[in-house]
Structure 1
């Protein structure tokens, strides 16, 4: 009777566990309906955690039932092994053993039935798990379909916004580059004036370089003449020494000595005149060199002024770009602008970028020419 009570109690507990599992499944379905309106990430996390929890509960329940089955079998065999079969026992003991055997047989049948019921419950749990998986997949499929539709709507909206913004930008560009724009007209005028100024400065530098080359050639020729005069002075000195020797030889003849002294004085006087004229020419040449240096310094100052003007023009260009960008931001906030203004903005921005690039190229070329002219002036000295 104790074994029957034990089996009945364990079977009642198993039925209660099955009811709890079914009740939990109903709560899970309610949770799924509640989570249908949640974000996809939360739904995925919830599904993963619930599937893990269900698998763990199923494994624990199956293990408990298996352990309970083996425990009951051990008790049954233990109880069966304690029955005495001695022949010298009385008839009452034999009848008690027979009743116990019948009890054990009924218990064994009960256990087999309970095992069969447990197997059926396990199969039911598997079927419920499969059904829940199908429901979860259908819910996930619906969520993914909703998400894909939402993403397609967002993509269509983005395409519409891109087309609208491109039209707006085109209008702003066209307006910025229109000849009617006073800022752009002023920029073109300043650029033309700066270009003319740079051309004039290049011509002045070229003429100054030519003049420096001519002065350099004159200075070289003067240096050659000075060397020749020095050579003549050396020759005159050597001739004076020779004449002195001759004077020592013919010192007894006053007339010859007077003639030689007169010739030497004449040579010295001619040499002094030539030296004075050469010094005068050298002084004039150095004065011209100083004048050219002053002129080159003025040209460098003019170049610096032109460079500053180019920098100022670049700042104005950046300011114009800022104005255009400000117009772009203003126009991007007001989507309902006129289509013609949008097209004009895009054209103006494109032309502004091209003009800025051309201006940078022009500036780099001018700076390179200025550096070459400065190097040419320095090398000429």
Structure 2
């Protein structure tokens, strides 16, 4: 009998290749100057998916997400074979969400039609900015006109569309961001992902920042930009449902909700992570990051896992807090207590309530307030202590 765990069940497929590495990006993405052997890679995905299917028998897949890297560098036939393999291994929900990330520079109408024919029903475009100067700064390969054409192509091809923008960019003012955001909303279908630029260790931006050659808005301006983002999106009918994600009611990304509601998800492909319930154990899985090493490991062992660790009750509770409090809907306190086998310290909770960091909702739910979102890591640490 098919079943899904609380929070849902999804499949994440990581395609690790990009045409160029963006200077702010710390994701597991790799540039190859020779064509990737997609036949060999899809055969490896087939094997790794089969390995995880053995561990998650009887589940119903509610979402599939192809991330990267740049999954839109895959041939439509590659996508079709991966999706066919998934549907042959698991039961598929009638309303399954099948998302793919795409860069505007790799959008071709015929290729998009191929993805749609393969089963993709939602695309997420990495637009990142609607200003050419900032696109160059961010190392993007597309310009604004290319992005606008990609949005138009995606809207005419897929039932659902989202695109990403990065704000709190160097020299960005509140007024400029408001104008850009309102333009983005006019282009959006029903979902936007809006991220503040963060300087991640190990990236070229990190080195430039430390050398004093890259200036980003100070925390006070960053907070002002964040508050403006919440107000403008809400006023236009795309309120935040998560710290950085905005949607019309009912158009939330179902796959990301699996993560944030602490469901189960299989992660396949180089560098992918997963959380799966196997018997009485909640397992944290991690896959070899380097693509060619992953390929050899899968061909030799049937999978590329380098980590497969059972999570303690405390760790599960902490992860549920960390993920669930990102959501405007918050967490189910009873579920937290069942996972962690402990209650939230009433004194710590009372202090957070008093300082307006969290609020209690009907149905024994708890969520962060707007002030709490601004210091979410500290709120989570307090509740988990």
Query: Which structure has the highest helix share of the two?
Result: 1
If you compute each CA radius of gyration, which structure gives the higher value, 1 or 2?
1
Q: Same fold (TM over 0.5)?
A: no
Structure that is richer in strand per residue: 2
Query: Which interval holds the TM-score relative to the shorter structure?
Result: under 0.3
TM-score, scaled to structure 1: 0.17
